[in-house]
Amino acid sequence: MTKKVLDNFTVFLLSTLMNSKIDHISLFPNLAKKESHPIVQELINFFSNRDLTLMVSRAFERDHNLIPSSFFVQDEEILERTKLAISLGGDGTLLNTARFFMRQSVPILGINVGRLGFLTEFSSYQALDKLEELLEGQFLTTTRMRLKATHISAGQSQDYVLLNDTVIAKGGKSRAVKINLKVNGEYFSSYHADGVIISSPTGSTAYNLSCYGPILHPTSDAMVVNPISPHTLAIRPVILPGDSTVECLAENPDTTQKEDIFLTLDGQVSLRLQPDDRVLISRSEYPALIIANELHSFYATLRSKLGWVG
């Protein structure tokens, strides 16, 4: 493998990754996708025939009888013992998996049975063929910067860790909101817009891309600030260094109307902001480790998923 490739990937060998055997694997399946069911069964058979422990959160226990009860454990045990996580579904499933390990950097194998698949790099047959190598620690990962969003409300603060993006946006009414931004404590701008996206490099191909934002290489150390439908044509997305701290204060410019403003994290967790709430977005100290498919590159994925031809 060339030095250029090695510069883009971090090699995790068994001896250096955990100093111990990869013997506890957690599975995060999207059981709502019927395509995942035969793969779940294959994974259960694979791990049952080896001296390995496959763990599934009890949150999945009531959803389906596909998985024997002996595989279900408490979340605390998964967090404590997981050496390798398997995300089976689409990109949303992988985002859920990464958020589960928000304060840990656990290698995640993304198996795609979804529609888009920017994050889930392996097809089912590719992943099943590679399992033996994975369990020996013979795999590459991309180290993905994650964001930390700190929601400050009424003197209390709550931290969230996310892989894709933080979005502050209006509710259902067709009125703009005003969002005041500071970068590293310095006033940056005030957007009159439907909202603003603060995206990680990984999230640059998600909502940010739909709002005409730039695509960043997923291993970049940067973040994108991208206003949603701004009411001034001069307003454009901005790329900031990864060590920046962005502070957002959203307000309703029409004081005669009550407009709900929401904070949404990775498109999956949503909170209603109260007047004078602030949101601080910075780089998380816990990067995500996504197991890389050596048969594909980021550029090939862009060509394939976005239909680029030449």
Q: What's at 273, amino acid-wise?
A: L
Active site residues: 91
Query: To which residue do tokens 């067709």 refer?
Result: 174
257: left (phi over 0), alpha (psi -120 to 50) or beta: beta
Strand partners, 86: 27, 109
User: Nearest 5 degrees, angle CA 234-CA 239-CA 240?
Assistant: 120
What HEC string does 32-66 produce?
CCHHHHHHHHHHHHHHHCCCCEEEEEHHHCCCCCC
What is the edge-to-edge ordering of all strands in the sheet holding 147-153? 156-162, 147-153, 278-283, 246-251, 177-183, 186-193
